[in-house]
Chains A and B, each alone.
Chain A
Amino acid sequence: MRWIWIDRIVELDRGRRCVALKNVSLAEDVLHDHFSARDGRGPWPVFPQTLIIEGMAQTAGILVGHARDFKEKVILAKIGLARFTALARPGFTLRYTAVLERIDESGAATGGEVELIDPGTGAVKPLAKIDLLYSHIDQNRAGLQFPEHNFVFTGQLMEMLRQSGLPAPG
Chain B
Amino acid sequence: MPITQEEVFSKVQTVLVDALGVDEEEVVPTAKLVADLGAESIDFLDIVFRLEKAFGIKIDQNELFPEALLNDPQYVVEGKVTDSGMTELRRRLPHLEFGDFEKSRAVSAFSNLFTVDAIVKFVNDKLAKQ
Contact = CB atoms under 8 A, between A and B. Distances in A.
A133 to B, nearest CB: 5
Contacts of A101: 49, 53
A142 B71 CA distance: 8
Given A102-B52, A133-B46, A80 B18 contact: yes
A107 B71 contact: no
Interface in B21-63: 41-46, 49, 52-53, 60-61
A46 interface: no
B63 to A, nearest CB: 11
Contacts of A104: 60-61
Interface in B69-112: 71
Interface residue tally on A, bucketed by range: 10 to 19
Interface string A65-107: 0000000000001101000000000000000000001101111
Q: For the complex, would chain B's binding face be called helix, strand, loop or mixed by DSSP majority?
A: helix
A135 B52 CA distance: 17
Nearest to B52: A102
A78 B65 CA distance: 19
Contacts of B125: none
A129 to B, nearest CB: 14
A102 B45 CA distance: 11
Contacts of B49: 101-102, 109, 133
Nearest to A75: B42
B53 A77 contact: no
Given A80-B19, A102-B52, A104-B61, 17 more contacts: A77-B45, A78-B43, A101-B49, A102-B49, A102-B53, A104-B60, A106-B61, A107-B42, A133-B45, A133-B49, A135-B45, A140-B41, A141-B44, A141-B65, A142-B41, A143-B67, A143-B71
Interface of A: 77-78, 80, 101-102, 104-107, 109, 133, 135, 140-143
Interface of B: 18-19, 41-46, 49, 52-53, 60-61, 65, 67, 71
Q: Which 7 A-B pairs have the closest CB atoms?
A: A141-B67, A143-B71, A77-B42, A141-B41, A109-B49, A102-B49, A106-B45
